[in-house]
């Protein structure tokens, strides 16, 4: 048995049965070994960023890693941005990077580069295997490391001669370690802080964003009057009717500060202490309010679900019925297509069990609001800020959950980082409905230019955000990669197209022409305010709701 065969056997034995590939010459023995290991599904991508982003999306939904197959340091470089997103999402990924044969490295051939140095940046575990006899065991360690709570990228660098040499033995992956249990003393301390009558908030992230932990968190929050918030960019969050109201911390620091204003105890549950996404001149980076004590109920690698259940019990709230979103969909929208009517159509039509991949940037800020009463669904977001995650994540999620519809909502700028994902959707006949929210701009940068206080930005600066010259035609791009597509510019047409696409198996793309929501900072802020509604006085909240209501 050669190295590649033992590697594939090890992976498949451990339930790693999907590999997102973009191979080159140094990975040919891995490719050849596919025919001897029918349990492994090799999903070809045309670009490595699609492979790594698909592995991320797959494991976010499956809870178990997929593998990648990348070609040397340059292939790894192409996949780096989505590995960064996976790292920030704590996604388990078995990241396999082929390398030159060990004896070839000294020759400094054209593709020679320092793979380990680049990989270190995104990998919680990293190993270069130079001995075919050890490969099985090392591959098993890679899988175990990837699955180590909360999950991480484990990179195995695989020289070609280790792949092709004989004498390999498959490795055995030990049973996965459960996440660490939080001790009683910590629970006692946090229960005491929460019942002191001071303003408090629970900030949920990671594993705390599943349905049961959310409900327990809502029980805790309700019993002591604490606010309930989710991290800004969750790897995966369950949402919809029956779950508690749960606003995500706003991307804009100014608004996040409003959400957290006056909080004296901030309890982190699978989330990290909130910081501003970017730095701005003269503004603080940490979003923890002054005088607030930060408590960690469960760190990202700890058992957040168990900790919340036990905290609820300690607070005497274990049996309570928590506040829940009632089932409620917005009416089918009419008229002009906009960020608001598009979000309403999604809320109107979202099917039970849908997986929403949200990389819609500025155009998508109303989605949480209008989908809050929809049937139960999952949302995957841009965890690491490296755009180009949406389409690849959708590929992975669709392969992880073939019985669930995937709805990818992607901004036009973001879609152009990894458009090649559409081809894999067509090739694998994945039921992914891609909606491109095309405002023909890097709209978020139009806003950020003002937020950072950059002055002197005239015509030449603004041209850097203009994606309208020439306009991108996503219908033709999709057709070029084998995905049926249509363009819509009214709310009715969008709703009709979305309904049809969701009902028809296979990939579809809808190019939604939407006006930029960034006409002025003030107008753009409104959608964000919706996330704050629970924290606003009633009168003001109603005023805001009226302001953003459809005409």
Residue 458 CB, nearest approach to its own copies (Å): 4
Range list of H helices, 14-47: 28-33
Q: Which is nearer to its own copies, 152 or 223 (CB)?
A: 152
The contact pattern for its own copies, residues 389-418, with x = CB under 8 A and - = no contact, is ------------------------x--xx-
C-alpha span between 398 and 545 (Å, rounded): 35
Residue 417 CB, nearest approach to its own copies (Å): 6
Q: Which of 426, 436, 441, 530 binds its own copies (CB under 8 A)?
A: 426
471 binds its own copies (CB under 8 A): yes
Q: Distances from the Cα of 436 to the Cαs of 202, 298, 339, 485, 512, in angstroms?
A: 34, 37, 12, 10, 6
239 binds its own copies (CB under 8 A): no
Largest CA distance in the chain: 74
Chain positions 476 to 515 lying near its own copies, rule: CB under 8 A, are 476-477, 479-482
Q: Which stretch binds its own copies (CB under 8 A): 263-271, 331-339, 455-463, 524-532?
A: 455-463
**Cα atoms in the 13 Å half-sphere on the side-chain side of 546:** 6
318 binds its own copies (CB under 8 A): no
Q: Which of 198, 448, 492, 499 binds its own copies (CB under 8 A)?
A: 448
Dihedral, CA atoms, 251, 255, 257, 258, nearest 10 degrees? -150
Q: Which is nearer to its own copies, 401 or 481 (CB)?
A: 481
32 binds its own copies (CB under 8 A): yes
Please, are residues 111 and 73 in contact by the beta-carbon 8 Å criterion? Answer: yes
C-alpha span between 421 and 382 (Å, rounded): 16
Chain positions 42 to 71 lying near its own copies, rule: CB under 8 A, are 42, 44, 46-47, 49
Q: Which stretch binds its own copies (CB under 8 A): 196-204, 317-325, 327-335, 447-455?
A: 447-455
Please, are residues 412 and 397 in contact by the beta-carbon 8 Å criterion? Answer: no
Please, are residues 130 and 147 in contact by the beta-carbon 8 Å criterion? Answer: no
Please, are residues 54 and 20 in contact by the beta-carbon 8 Å criterion? Answer: yes
Query: Across-strand partners of 201?
Result: 227, 266
Tell me the number of residues near its own copies by CB under 8 A. Answer: 102
Q: Which is nearer to its own copies, 197 or 470 (CB)?
A: 470
Please, are residues 67 and 10 in contact by the beta-carbon 8 Å criterion? Answer: no
294 binds its own copies (CB under 8 A): no
255 binds its own copies (CB under 8 A): no
Chain positions 373 to 392 lying near its own copies, rule: CB under 8 A, are 383-386, 388
Please, are residues 20 and 47 in contact by the beta-carbon 8 Å criterion? Answer: no
Chain positions 163 to 202 lying near its own copies, rule: CB under 8 A, are 164
């Amino acid at each position: 048995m050669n190295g590649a065969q033992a590697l594939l056997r090890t992976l498949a034995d451990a339930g790693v049965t999907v590999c997102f590939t973009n191979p080159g010459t140094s990975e040919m023995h891995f490719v050849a070994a596919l025919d001897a290991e029918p349990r492994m599904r090799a999903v070809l991508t045309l670009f490595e960023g699609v492979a790594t982003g698909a592995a991320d999306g797959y494991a976010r939904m499956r809870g178990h890693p997929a593998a990648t197959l990348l070609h040397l340091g340059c292939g790894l470089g192409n996949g780096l941005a989505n590995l960064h997103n996976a790292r920030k999402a704590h996604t388990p990924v078995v990241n396999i990077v082929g390398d030159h044969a060990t004896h070839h490295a000294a020759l400094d051939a054209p593709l020679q580069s320092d793979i380990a140095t680049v990989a270190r940046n995104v990998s919680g575990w990293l190993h270069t295997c130079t001995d075919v006899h050890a490969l099985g065991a090392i591959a098993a360690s890679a899988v175990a490391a990837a699955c180590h709570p909360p999950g991480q990228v484990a990179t195995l660098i695989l020289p070609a001669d280790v792949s092709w040499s004989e004498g390999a033995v498959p490795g055995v992956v030990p049973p996965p370690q459960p996440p660490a249990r939080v001790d009683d003393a910590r629970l006692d301390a946090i229960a005491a802080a929460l019942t002191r009558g001071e303003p408090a908030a629970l900030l949920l992230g990671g594993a705390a964003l599943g349905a049961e932990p959310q409900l327990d968190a809502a029980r805790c929050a309700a019993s002591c009057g604490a606010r309930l918030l989710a991290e800004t960019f969750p790897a995966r969050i369950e949402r919809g009717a029956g779950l508690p109201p749960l606003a995500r911390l706003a991307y804009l620091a100014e608004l996040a500060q409003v959400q957290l204003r006056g909080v004296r105890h901030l309890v982190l549950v699978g989330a990290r202490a909130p910081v501003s996404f970017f730095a701005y001149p003269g503004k603080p980076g940490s979003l923890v309010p002054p005088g607030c004590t930060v408590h960690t109920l469960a760190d990202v690698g700890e058992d957040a679900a168990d900790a919340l259940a036990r905290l609820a019990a300690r607070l005497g709230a274990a049996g309570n019925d928590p506040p829940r979103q009632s089932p409620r969909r917005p009416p089918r929208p009419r008229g002009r297509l906009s960020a608001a009517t598009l979000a309403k159509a999604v809320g109107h039509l979202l099917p039970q069990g849908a997986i929403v991949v949200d990389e819609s940037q500025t155009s998508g800020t109303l989605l949480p609001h209008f989908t809050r009463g929809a049937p139960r669904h999952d949302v995957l977001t841009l965890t690491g800020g490296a755009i180009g995650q949406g389409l690849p994540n959708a590929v992975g999620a669709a392969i992880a959950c073939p019985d669930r519809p995937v709805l990818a909502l992607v901004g036009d700028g973001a879609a152009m980082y990894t458009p090649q994902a559409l081809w894999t959707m067509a090739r694998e006949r994945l039921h992914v409905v891609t909606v491109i929210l095309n405002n023909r701009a890097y709209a978020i940068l139009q806003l950020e230019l003002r937020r950072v206080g950059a002055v002197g930005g005239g015509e030449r600066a603004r041209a850097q955000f203009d994606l309208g010259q020439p306009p991108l035609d996503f219908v033709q791009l999709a057709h070029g990669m084998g995905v049926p597509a249509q363009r819509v510019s009214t709310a009715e047409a969008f709703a009709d197209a979305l309904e049809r696409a969701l009902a028809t198996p296979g990939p579809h793309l809808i190019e939604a022409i939407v006006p930029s929501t960034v006409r002025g900072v003030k107008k753009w802020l409104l959608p964000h305010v919706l996330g704050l509604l629970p924290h606003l006085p009633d009168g003001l909240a109603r005023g805001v709701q009226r302001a953003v209501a459809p005409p």
